[in-house]
Amino acid sequence: METIDYMETMKLFKDYNDTFRSIFRLNTSNEDEINKIYINIKSNLFEKTYITPSLILGIIQNAANYNFRFFRSYWTLFKKIYDEYHPTKIEDCSWVFCYIFYKEYGLLLDKEHDFDIEDPEMIESLKAHEENTIYKAIIDDDLNSFIVFTEKEGFDENQLMYSYIYPDFELTLLDLCCYYGSVNCFKLMRSKFNSEITENCLHYSFLSGKPEIMNECLKFQTPDDECMDYVITSYNIDFVTFIMENYNIEIDPFHCENVFNLQAYFLHFFHTNDLPTCFTHSPFFYNKSLCEFLLSHGADVNQEGVDGRFVLDYACLKNIKELAEFFINNGSLLYPSDFDGLTSLHFAAMGDSKETAEMLLLHGAEIDPYDHENKTPLCYAIHDYNFETAKFLILQGADVNAEEIIHIAAVAGSVEIIELLISHGADVNAKDYLGKIPLHYAAQGNSTELLETLISNGSDINAKDDDGRTPLHDAIPSMHPHIIDFLISHGADINAVDNFNRTALQIAENTDNEEIIQLINRYINQK
């Protein structure tokens, strides 16, 4: 392998690393400074790498999680990107951004937050950071205000903050002092209440980077791997070196990828000379120049990483079609991993990488390779709700009767995919390893449309699994009365017993759900 100079290497990727550093260490509320970061994101990331607006919005949310003092600045940056590019899919949505987005735009940023967007406890935890609260005093390190709160009758020095806006859900007041680097409030909590310094305190002290707090925490706690992760997130390379040299803790290259810290990544490489791992995971930085650089210095495209993966696998997982094709053109082979039998097409299916999957097929990839669990790429696409890629694979001739595919689709609840599978010959009465047909799984869900699709295409409404349970039996624990009503009204045998001699009514009585019990009794009394 050709010798690589660390300092010269970092010069090559300075713009990339500096841009991400400015995101994770954002420390300004000045509109002009925020706009400079925005311009650098466009010129250094959007124009020169595979980083997309959708991806960067997720990264901004993650960065804010570790630097909430400047949340409003992160929100300003988020809005600038969203308003210009309007991405349809946002990566890794956090509750607080979903909430603020909903309030400002009247739209749901992520459907997963549909039910908790107005959660009063979550909103209350957000309001706790506003003016005239003890938490705001900590954020500002306002000792006078903090003292007033601590001297109020009933003050509990052991009170906890519960919130999703921090890396941990549960934080003590001392944790918050360490997170925000509030030296004065920290000293008061230690001197007046002898508050315990925990592992979290040490982790957060490295995140905020205040020497007085860090030194005190180091008297009671020893840095660990998680501490190194926080240091990497803080983009403080001096702290990274300090922990490496004084506590013999290695850099986790996978966490470097999570926060796009290329400098720490290269430091790991120069410290360990682990080119296979660094190259295999290089697609996670979405930077072709990085991959080309490592390849030109001796990396092997068919070198298996420590996790049993190949560089092509990760390019496919991240839906970077151009990068995946670059690896193929440089010799990447389309064979499965010895570790678990997964191929690059499996990874493309997991990553909902329709375009990448198409490219792989054009380069000769098999459409139905089986992994060591006998699952094909189509199985993974449906299981992970990646329906665009699933539709593409079906239309390209993927085996719709491969092991449990239609059962997986029934669990996923996609009527469109079920209809497509059926139209291509999928067996609606195929049994899985438990003896269940797809209707058993559909009955556990919440969609009468899905049930109607299966039944109208010949699904046996009274099919029994290996335990003698019918779809009606399986529907009851989910406690959706409209599903149970639908099944019975469409011919489900209300008196069918399983292998334990239990009827639908007896199973319902064990749930103590009066509505369902009364519903079943009404049907019984009609007979």
Residue 350 covered by a domain: no
Structure tokens at 470: 């019918």
pLDDT in tens, 78-137: 999 999 999 988 877 888 898 899 889 988 887 655 556 777 777 877 877 888 899 999
Structure tokens at 265: 């990544």
Determine how many CB atoms are found less than 10 A away from the CB of residue 215: 10
Q: Which of 231, 248, 279 is the last residue of a domain?
A: 231
Structure tokens at 34: 């925020």
The CATH number covering residue 468 comes to 1.25.40.20
pLDDT at 516: 95
pLDDT at 111: 64
Residue 239 covered by a domain: no
Mean pLDDT score, 224-247: 96
Which positions ≥6 away from 287 have C-beta within 8 Å?
13, 16, 48, 49, 50, 262
Residue 349 covered by a domain: no
Q: Which of 205, 231, 257 is the last residue of a domain?
A: 231
Mean pLDDT score, 19-44: 98
Determine how many CB atoms are found less than 10 A away from the CB of residue 205: 28
Residue 225 covered by a domain: yes
Residue 198 covered by a domain: yes
Q: Read out DSSP for 354-391?
A: HHHHHHHHHTT--SS---TTS--HHHHHHHTT-HHHHH
**CA torsion sign, 475 to 476 to 480 to 486?**
positive
Residue 302 covered by a domain: no
pLDDT at 145: 97
User: In the structure, what pLDDT confidence band is assigned to residue 408 with cuts at 50, 70 and 90?
Assistant: very high
Total domains present in the chain: 2
Report the alpha-carbon distance of residue 196 to residue 219 in Å, rounded.
12
Average pLDDT, the chain: 94
Q: Which of 231, 252, 271 is the last residue of a domain?
A: 231
Residue 274 covered by a domain: no
Q: Please tell me the pTM assigned to this model.
A: 0.89
Residue 470 covered by a domain: yes
Range of the domain at 506: 429-527
Tell me the residue type at 37: I
Percent of the chain with pLDDT over 90: 84
